[in-house]
Amino acid sequence: MIPKKLQNWKPEKGFPFKCGLEIHTQLLTKHKLFSQSVNVPNCAPNANTSFFDLAFPGTFPKLNPEALLLALKAAAALDASISTTSSFDRKHYFYFDQPLGYQITQRFRPLARGGHLQLSKDYDDVLSDKLINIEQLQLEQDTAKLNYDDYDSLVSIDLNRANVPLIELVTKPDFENLLQVRAFIKKYLGLVSHLGICSGDLENGAMRCDVNVSVAGGDRVEVKNLSSTSEVMAAAAYEYKRQVAQLKESIPVEQETRSWTGTKTVRTRSKEDAVDYRYVPDTELPFVHLDPSIADLIRAQLPEFPETVVRRLRNAPYGLEKKYAKFLVESPLHLEYYYKLHSIIVGEHKQPSKVVNNWFVHELLGAFNKLGLSPDFTMLPAEKYAALILLVQNKEVTSTSAKLLLLAMLQPSEEIAEMSVEEMVDHYKLRNAAEAETGDLKTAVEEICKEIIEENQDAVEKIKAGKHLSIKFLVGIAMRTTQGKVDPKLFDETFKNLIYNE
C-alpha cells in the first residue's frame, strides 16, 4: 500500500530529484566482526564486550568468517561482482562511540561492486518498473551506542554494539522519486531478512541509512543516520523542498552533510570543513582472497527469492493476499510457521485454505496486534494452534470461544502454560453446547430466546415493524447469556422463527 502523502509526490517541473542511498545493516552472526564476543541485541549494557571491542592495547582483530559469508550472500543476491581480493581500511575519527579511534571498513577494496535490484510495478509499490544499480557493498564495524539521558544531562556508552558486523550497501544515484526510495529500502530489507542475513529489526537499530539528495544537477547533500524508512522519506522530502526553494532564489546548493532533527534537516558540516578521515590500510588484517568460483557456489546455495515465494503463496493452494504473503517472506520463521499450519489443516485434515488464512492473518496476527506484541510464533507452536482451529472446524468450540482461548494462549498464566488445547477448553468450560444432543440444544436455545423476547418486547416490536437489524441486538444478549458457547447463527435463526412465525 502506498501512503496517501506519497501517492501524489512528484518532483516539480524543471527541478528533477536525484538520490542515492547508503544503507548499513547489522548482520545476524553469532559473534562480532573481529572478536569472539557474542552478537545479541537487548542485553545488559556492556555485557557483550571483549578486550578488542574496548580497544585495549595489544589486542588484534580477527575476521569472523560467518560475517564474510553473510555479506557474500547479500552480494550474490544482488548480482554484484564479488572481488577475489578485498581488504580492510581504517577510517579515523575521534568520538566516544569509537574506542579504537578509527572504524575498520573497506574503502579501497570493497567485498563487491556493481549489481542491481529491480523494482517492479506489480510487486513493489512503485508506479513503473525501475532498475536501481549498486555502487558497492562492503563489510564494516558498528560503533558503540550512546544513550542520552536529558534529565541527568548524562551520556552513557553501551559497547555491546561496538564491532557488531555491518554491511554498507551504496547505491548509484538512480532514484528519481520518493516512492522508489521507499520501495528499495523495503525490498532490500525484505531480501536480507528473508535470506537470514539481517534481523530487519528496525526498532533495535538493525538498519541505519544515509540519504543523498541533489536537485537539477546540483551538488549532493547527505543526511546521515536515519533509522527507519519513514525517517528516510521525511528527510529526503524535506531536503528536496529546501533545495528547490533555495534554487528558486538563485542560491546554489553546496555539498554538505546534514542531520535530521525529526522535523527538519540541519547542517552538520560543509564540504570545506569535511572531516579528513586519514584512511589507511589496516595492517593487522590480512587481505581476503577468494576463489573466483565462490560467487557461483554461493548463488547456487541461495534459497528462493521473496518474489518467487510471494507469487507461490498468492496462488493455489495457498491463495494469500499479497500484503500477507509479503509479511511471511520477511522472516524464515514466519514462513515455516505458516507452511506447517497449512500442511496440518489443509494437507492432513482437508480443510479449505481460507480457514488457515483467516485464522493466521485475522485472528493470530490480529491477536498479537491487540495485545501490543510484535508477532512471535514461538509463543504458540503451530501444532497447538492447528488443534484449536480444528476444534472450531469440528464445531466442538465456537469461534468466539476459540478467539478467547487464543488470547489466553498468547499471555499464558503459569496455570495454563503447560495445558493442551483440549485441557484448556475443559478448564474454561468452553466445550460447545452443540456437542450435546442436537435436540436438547435446540430446546435449550429456544427457551433462552423466548425468555429474551419476553424481556425485550420493545425491540421485538421494532423488528416486527421492519427494523430487522435489531435481531442482532437480541443475538448479542443471547451470546452474553451463554458466554459465547453457542453458534450465533443458531440464535439468529431461532429468533427469526419465533418472531416472524408467531
The answer to whether the CB of 27 falls within 8 A of the CB of 70 is yes
Cβ closest to ligand ATP, residue 231 vs residue 307? 231
Q: Does residue number 210 form part of the binding site for Mg ion (CB under 5 A)?
A: yes
Cβ closest to Mg ion, residue 260 vs residue 377? 260
Beta-carbon-side half-sphere exposure of residue 104 (alpha carbons within 13 Å) = 26
Q: Closest Cα partner for 108 from 258, 277, 271?
A: 277
Binding-site partner at residue 18 among ligand ATP, Mg ion, none, CB < 5 to 8 Å by type: ligand ATP
Cβ closest to Mg ion, residue 173 vs residue 319? 173
Q: How far is the CB of 169 from ligand ATP (least distance, A)?
A: 9
* Range list of H helices, 195-290: 229-248
From the list 25-33, 209-217, 331-339, 367-375, the region that binds Mg ion by CB under 5 A is 209-217
Q: Give residue number: closest CB to Mg ion.
A: 22
Interface residue list for ligand ATP (CB under 6 A):
18-22, 170-173, 210, 212-214, 220, 222
Burial of 262 (0-12, 13-18, 19+ CB in 10 A): exposed
Binding-site partner at residue 21 among ligand ATP, Mg ion, none, CB < 5 to 8 Å by type: ligand ATP
The answer to whether the CB of 263 falls within 8 A of the CB of 244 is no
Q: Does residue number 142 form part of the binding site for Mg ion (CB under 5 A)?
A: no
Residue 226 main-chain phi, psi, to 5 deg: -100, 135
Beta-carbon-side half-sphere exposure of residue 434 (alpha carbons within 13 Å) = 19
Q: What is the dihedral of CA 83, 89, 95, 100, to 10 degrees?
A: 120
Q: How far is the CB of 42 from Mg ion (least distance, A)?
A: 27
Binding-site partner at residue 214 among Mg ion, ligand ATP, none, CB < 5 to 8 Å by type: ligand ATP
Cβ closest to ligand ATP, residue 213 vs residue 382? 213
Query: What span, in angstroms and rounded, lies between the C-alpha atoms of 335 and 325?
Result: 9
Cβ closest to ligand ATP, residue 18 vs residue 403? 18
Peptide bond between residue 332 and the one before it cis (omega within 30 degrees of 0): no
Binding-site partner at residue 97 among Mg ion, ligand ATP, none, CB < 5 to 8 Å by type: none
Q: How far is the CB of 233 from Mg ion (least distance, A)?
A: 18
From the list 104-112, 196-204, 208-216, 351-359, the region that binds Mg ion by CB under 5 A is 208-216
Residues 141-173 as b or e (16 or more Cβ within 10 Å = b): bbbbbeeeeeeeeeeebbbbbbbbbbbbbbbeb
Q: Closest Cα partner for 473 from 459, 489, 454, 455?
A: 459
Q: How far is the CB of 81 from ligand ATP (least distance, A)?
A: 17
> CA 479 from chain center: how many Å?
38
Q: How far is the CB of 179 from Mg ion (least distance, A)?
A: 22
Q: Closest Cα partner for 343 from 321, 360, 322, 325?
A: 360
Size of the site for Mg ion (CB under 5 A): 2
Binding-site partner at residue 206 among ligand ATP, Mg ion, none, CB < 5 to 8 Å by type: none
Cβ closest to ligand ATP, residue 105 vs residue 400? 105
- Strand-pair partners of 306: none
Q: Does residue number 89 form part of the binding site for Mg ion (CB under 5 A)?
A: no
Q: How far is the CB of 320 from ligand ATP (least distance, A)?
A: 35
Query: What span, in angstroms and rounded, lies between the C-alpha atoms of 287 and 92?
Result: 20
Q: How far is the CB of 168 from Mg ion (least distance, A)?
A: 6
Q: How far is the CB of 80 from ligand ATP (least distance, A)?
A: 15
The total of other beta-carbon atoms located within 10 Å of residue 8's CB is 7
Q: What would the x/- binding string for Mg ion be over residues 403 to 432, using CB under 5 A?
A: ------------------------------
Cell 568468517 -> residue: 65
Query: What span, in angstroms and rounded, lies between the C-alpha atoms of 349 and 460?
Result: 42
Q: How far is the CB of 134 from ligand ATP (least distance, A)?
A: 10
Enumerate residues 8-37 that contact Mg ion by CB under 5 A: 22
Taking phi first (over 0 means left), then psi (-120 to 50 degrees means alpha), and beta for anything else, what does residue 58 get?
left
* Range list of H helices, 8-121: 65-77
User: Could you give the C-alpha distances from 244 to 11, 290, 329, in angstroms and in order?
Assistant: 10, 46, 39
Binding-site partner at residue 171 among ligand ATP, Mg ion, none, CB < 5 to 8 Å by type: ligand ATP
Cβ closest to ligand ATP, residue 113 vs residue 485? 113
Query: What span, in angstroms and rounded, lies between the C-alpha atoms of 211 and 231?
Result: 10
Cβ closest to ligand ATP, residue 212 vs residue 494? 212
Cβ closest to ligand ATP, residue 21 vs residue 474? 21
Q: How far is the CB of 18 from ligand ATP (least distance, A)?
A: 4
Cβ closest to ligand ATP, residue 50 vs residue 138? 138
Cβ closest to Mg ion, residue 53 vs residue 210? 210
Q: How far is the CB of 219 from ligand ATP (least distance, A)?
A: 7
* Binding residues vs Mg ion (CB under 5 A): 22, 210
